Amino acid sequence: MTTLKPFLSDNAAPVHPRVWEAMQAADSADNPYDGDALSAELDTRFTDLFGRECAGLWIATGTAANCLALATMVQPHGGVVCHEEAHIEVDEGGAPGFYLHGAKLMLAQGEGAKLTPTAIAALIDPIRDDVHQVQPHAIAITQASEYGRSYTPRELAALAEFAKARGLGLHMDGARFANAAAFLGGDASAAAGGVDSLAFGCIKNGAMSAEAVVLFDPEQADLVKYRRKRAGHLQCKGRYLAAQVLAMLEDDLWLDNARHANAAAAEIASGCGDRLMHPVEANELFVRLSPEEREALRAQDFAFYDWGDDAARFVTAWDTKAEDAAALGKAIAAL
């Protein structure tokens, strides 16, 4: 039996050895829930990382992270503007409707699954300012986007300014924030821009079961803590989740892992030429490939998902082998 060269997703990769170590180091008993010493470190560590005061809370999934953060901004009768292909709209099983008690996702358009002030204004300006129409309360963007595009600091500044002008919260789904930050040069603060909250992804980047909700208004932490408990997400052995997040932050493991994945993606991209549907600015590639071409690649043991009828998606991860990436790039170039 041959070994597959896996480019299906980064969401099922193994746990990084340093994350394992950190979890095991957390094994001795401590206070339950988030009363342990490790959980207590998160605020400081994220404040250091972003250079502005913030609160950091562990949470088991990105879906819950996004929803809990949005709950600080959005009333049940309000709405969240997001891209029509945003993960919260397409792939979270209606979680925002649950966590926000029926609030509405309002779908804007934009190239590469990215939003712009112009696109958002086109969506919300026609909304009548009356009780018959749901009013937007927040904007949610994804960094890197669902098509592997990274918002630049300039784009983020424009969105933050727009959000502020309109009185809207601004949340960032950072399931692959590390990949965007790595692409943008490694500055966490630049990659987050002026958002109010961030779902800081760790799981796709080497952790097992811990993401972080980062709240740049630390006064919102209390609300998120109550809601996290109420959602059954306050694990009693929370120290194992804190350990994962801290391990990711330690010595920039989060960036190193993302750089590795991005480099592998870039290596593949180098073989794709104008087959690329989107610039590769993180660790995902969307590549035009006919059914026959995809079959040919699979015959060479590359594993990946179809993306509609005429394309494929490839995702690299912290553990992608450089030789696999190189081989894939060459194989595509040779088609």
Single residue of 56, 79, 169, 194 touching a second copy by CB under 8 A: 79
Q: Least distance in Å: CB of 4 to a second copy?
A: 9
Q: Give the footprint of a second copy on residues 142-171 (CB under 8 A).
A: none
Nearer of residues 17 and 51 to a second copy, judged by Cβ? 17
Q: Least distance in Å: CB of 133 to a second copy?
A: 7
According to the binding rule CB under 8 A, does residue 12 interact with a second copy?
yes
Q: With beta carbons less than 8 A apart as the criterion, state whether 153 and 129 touch.
A: no
Q: Give the footprint of a second copy on residues 238-297 (CB under 8 A).
A: 239-241
Single residue of 47, 109, 152, 209 touching a second copy by CB under 8 A: 209
Stretch in the footprint of a second copy (CB under 8 A) among 59-67, 152-160, 256-264, 269-277 = 59-67
Q: Give the footprint of a second copy on residues 210-229 (CB under 8 A).
A: 223, 225-229
Nearer of residues 63 and 116 to a second copy, judged by Cβ? 63
Q: Least distance in Å: CB of 137 to a second copy?
A: 11
Nearer of residues 79 and 194 to a second copy, judged by Cβ? 79
Q: Give the footprint of a second copy on residues 93-122 (CB under 8 A).
A: 93-105
Nearer of residues 231 and 335 to a second copy, judged by Cβ? 231
Q: Least distance in Å: CB of 51 to a second copy?
A: 29
Single residue of 131, 165, 299, 334 touching a second copy by CB under 8 A: 131
Among residues 325, 254, 220, 243, the alpha carbon closest in space to that of 49 is found at 254
3-state secondary structure the chain: CCCCEECCCCCCCCCCHHHHHHHHHCCCCCCCCCCCHHHHHHHHHHHHHHCCCCEEEEECCHHHHHHHHHCCCCCCCEEEEEECCCHHHHCCCCHHHHHCCCCEEEEECCHHHCCCHHHHHHHHCCCCCCCCCCEEEEEEEECCCCCCCCCCHHHHHHHHHHHHHHCCEEEEEECCHHHHHHHCCCCHHHHHCCCCEEEECCHHHCCCCCEEEEECCHHHHHHHHHHHHHCCCCCCCCHHHHHHHHHHHHHHHHHHHHHHHHHHHHHHHCCCHHHECCCCCCCEEEEECCHHHHHHHHHCCEECEECCCCEEEEECCCCCCHHHHHHHHHHHHCC
Single residue of 49, 54, 67, 246 touching a second copy by CB under 8 A: 67
Q: Give the footprint of a second copy on residues 21-50 (CB under 8 A).
A: 24, 27-32, 36
Q: Least distance in Å: CB of 176 to a second copy?
A: 13
Virtual torsion, Cα 262, 267, 155, 96, nearest 10 deg: -50
Size of the site for a second copy (CB under 8 A): 71
Stretch in the footprint of a second copy (CB under 8 A) among 132-140, 155-163, 180-188, 290-298 = 132-140
Q: Least distance in Å: CB of 251 to a second copy?
A: 22
